Structure 1
Amino acid sequence: MRGINFRWRTFFLAWGFVYAFFVVPFWLLPSRKEVDPKELLDHLNPRNATHPANGSSSPDFTYTLKYQGKDLKIKRLLTDRSMPSLQERLTPPVAGSPKKFILSMSAFQAENLGGCPDFNCEVTLTFKQGIKYDALINFNERAIDNFTGYYLFSTQESPPNSDIFKELEYNMSIGYRHDSPASSPYGYAVELAEKKDLKEVVDMEIIKKKKKGGYWLVSHCSTDSKRELLVAELQKYINVDILGSCGKPCEKGGKCEDSSEYHFYMALENSLCKEYITEKLWKTGFQGNAIPIVLKRSIVEEFVPPKSVIAFDDYKSVEEMARHLKELMDDKEKYLEYFKWRENYAIIFLDGAHHDVLERPWGICQLCRLLHLDPRPQYRIPNLDEHWSRSCESGEEFVKKLING
């Protein structure tokens, strides 16, 4: 710039700086049409895909579980739709978060964290001075001063068969109910990411050879749901074998529990309560080779695969139901339709004895996950009596309608 007047030299130097650092880089970018707006947003707002923000999840997220020696690639849990997604449940933001402490005066113990050792929580069974607890389960005492964590009540029994300490205001339950973020069901259904061949999941030979009607494994002969009256009425129209304490002797794990000969299994609960589904359905009902029959569809429908059960209240009367069951027994093609759900879904039974990755999306593991969230979600059960004690209906009224038609 020797030939340029000094007073213009400063101007050209400044313009050259602006040109080099602000104009030239834009020439190097792809044309506007080629830029993906989503990529720009992701670049401006980076988010770790394995730790979604609370309430968000990727539609492409899958998780592989090994169950009964087979890999299950899962894309969705069949649960209360207002509850966290599968991705949220399995990817807690524990990095940099201090250990959380849970005091459990229930059946839940340290072993229940076996499915999520990486979630960074500890369970104690007695109150220890010096520990700042983040959650108290079945703490049947007055409220602790300055406690800001969660109070939970825990039971796996239905309201008529459980006793809940009602002096505390609880945040949530930890039991079979799916409408809790710390739900701990007896089992659960999952939607698979990859469709299976029906012949891989259903033994066609067993289906073809079935001759008998229904069977019922039962140990309590008189119940709040009055299920025993419905079975007695159904026996007027089709054969239903009653096994166990209320019928023919049947040893646990014996050949009498084999469902191969039967078309239907009576997965009937002792109470008609909201979301009360036990091992009767999750284990014996779904793990066998017979169609499960339940009392009321609305109790199970949200949590089981489509067309996987038959419900008494699908019909105006027990007699009408019996006619349909006979049709299915006589037509194997129609009968087989109740097993086609196995192409796209699977059932996982939680036996309560093995605390492994199968429990990761539930119970203590999920309570632990919640404790790490910042800000911590706020939950409250405003009326325990309405939420719990009044969540059941009269078995007598239910049965009377079906018997009288």
Structure 2
Amino acid sequence: MYSTISVLFLRSLIIDRHIEIVEIDYLLRRPAAAIERELTIQKRVVSLFAMKKKLERLPTDFRFILKWSQSFSHYNNLIYKNGQQPFLDNNCTFRNCYLTNDKGLITDVTFFDAILFDVENRWDPHPIERSQYQRFVFVGAESAANFPICAKIYNDYYNLTWTYKLDSDISNAYLNILDKNGTIVGPKVDMTWIKPMAATPDEVTVKIAKKTKAAAWFVSNCNAKNDRRVIANHIREALMAYGLDIDIYGWCGKMVCPKNQFSECLQLLQEDYYFYLSFENSDAEDYVTEKLLHAVMNYAVPIVYGGANYSRFLPPGSYINAKEQDAISIAFAINEAMKNPKVYEKYFRWHNYYSYAKAGEKAEVCKLCEVLNSPPTFTAKKDFKDWWNTKGTCKTTI
């Protein structure tokens, strides 16, 4: 195992020269059966604490939030800072929340108002004691296909969900869709789009008029579970009939784009490429990452591939879905757009009404504190296993 860790560490030093961080699963995982035993015991003993006297709290008292998983302490994490600072920094309406990794900060773990659990963490034992007044929060930024919940024991376990899924209690989407007033209007489950749409604005047609290359793809994980590389190769083969190709940057291709020059690479995408492969590394509902932003924020048409319903994220007629079209039809569409500027311009009509941006952190952090200032009730999410899963990812059902 240590030799494996050493190899991955050395590779991480090298990969920093490229544009994407390598997507590696955690090496250490506890058996699902061990987790099931813990949670079964907890469900049995939680009733013993149902009559535990509730702490007397003033409305202005701190809401203490325990980060059960050490992974929340990574500097790239949204809530890596401890204390009250994240809520002050984001100017939240409710700021009386306090984050900590210290399980002994207060006398009893059942007195924490909320405990955050990371979906990627499979080694820390779950707490046995549980108060009926505290929230157990499921936090998931990574794909449910890569980190599925296969045990039924999680049903009725978590009170709140904080994930990229659009029906989560606290949204952790990777992107925002804004109207022309700068108001966030999506993505959302019941997303509606303005139609019909007017012709593409003149300033956009000028930007896209000088493009010369068919498509680009920035990628470093060559062995994604959903075989996205196979799909990309099929499209490349189909494009050969038109004398076109896909320029692949990173570990999986011959083109190089240093990570510290990523903004220059995106500028190259904006100026030269008609299309961009916004391929996710796995298929999961609503799992749409910054890969889509590379295209829509840089005047390239996204060719998407993933498990999401993309009508929640993109206006109709603005993209090509490689899950719904075969390689030959995609290559034909690329060639037609490159030959006929009017055809290509139609992909960008949405610019009259919408814009895209990377999702901010304020809404998520503030929502957490807001929820904890509402009356505490134990309403765990039913059928959680079916909610956080992707068909076929669980080989067995516990």
TM-score range, shorter chain: 0.5 to 0.7
Deviations 1:233-263 (A, max 9, x none): 1011221111111112221225444212000
Is 1:384 the equivalent of 2:384? yes
2:228 touches 2:281 (CA, 8 Å); kept in 1?
Answer: yes
Structure 2: stretches of 5+ with no match in the other structure: 1-57, 119-124, 183-193, 240-244, 394-398
**Residue of structure 1 equivalent to 2:344:** 335
**Residue of structure 2 equivalent to 1:250:** 257
Larger CA deviation: 137-146 vs 168-177: 137-146
* Secondary structure in 1 matching 2:279: coil
Counterpart Cα distance in 1 of 2:329 and 2:199: 33
Larger CA deviation: 109-118 vs 127-136: 109-118
Structure 1: stretches of 5+ with no match in the other structure: 1-94, 351-357, 395-405
The TM-score normalised by the length of structure 2 is 0.64
Counterpart Cα distance in 1 of 2:91 and 2:379: 23
* Secondary structure in 2 matching 1:381: coil
Aligned to 1:273, which of 284, 288, 292? 284
**Which is greater in Rg?**
1
Counterpart Cα distance in 2 of 1:212 and 1:302: 29
1:272 touches 1:393 (CA, 8 Å); kept in 2?
Answer: no
**Residue of structure 1 equivalent to 2:230:** 229
The CA RMSD over aligned residues, in Å, is 3.1
* Secondary structure in 2 matching 1:117: coil
Is 1:141 the equivalent of 2:126? yes
**Residue of structure 2 equivalent to 1:27:** none
2:145 touches 2:390 (CA, 8 Å); kept in 1?
Answer: no
**Residue of structure 2 equivalent to 1:86:** none
Alpha-carbon spacing, 1:290–1:144, altered in 2? closer, same or farther (3 Å): same
Deviations 1:14-68 (A, max 9, x none): xxxxxxxxxxxxxxxxxxxxxxxxxxxxxxxxxxxxxxxxxxxxxxxxxxxxxxx
- The Cα shift of 1:193 comes to 3.8
**Residue of structure 1 equivalent to 2:80:** 109
Alpha-carbon spacing, 1:234–1:138, altered in 2? closer, same or farther (3 Å): same
For 1:134, the aligned partner's letter is D
Query: Where in structure 2 are the equivalents of 1:64-213 lying within 5 Å?
Result: 98-104=61-67, 105=69, 106=72, 107=77, 108-110=79-81, 112-113=86-87, 114-120=89-95, 121-127=97-103, 128-130=105-107, 132-138=111-117, 140-162=125-147, 169-193=157-181, 199=201, 202-213=203-214
Alpha-carbon spacing, 1:245–1:359, altered in 2? closer, same or farther (3 Å): same
Alpha-carbon spacing, 1:237–1:102, altered in 2? closer, same or farther (3 Å): same
- Paired-residue identity, %: 25
- The Cα shift of 1:333 comes to 2.1
Alpha-carbon spacing, 1:204–1:147, altered in 2? closer, same or farther (3 Å): same
- The Cα shift of 1:378 comes to 6.2
Counterpart Cα distance in 1 of 2:392 and 2:312: 19
- The Cα shift of 1:231 comes to 0.7
- The Cα shift of 1:190 comes to 2.5
- The Cα shift of 1:319 comes to 0.7
Query: Where in structure 2 are the equivalents of 1:212-223 lying within 5 Å?
Result: 212-223=213-224
2:279 touches 2:306 (CA, 8 Å); kept in 1?
Answer: no
- The Cα shift of 1:135 comes to 1.4
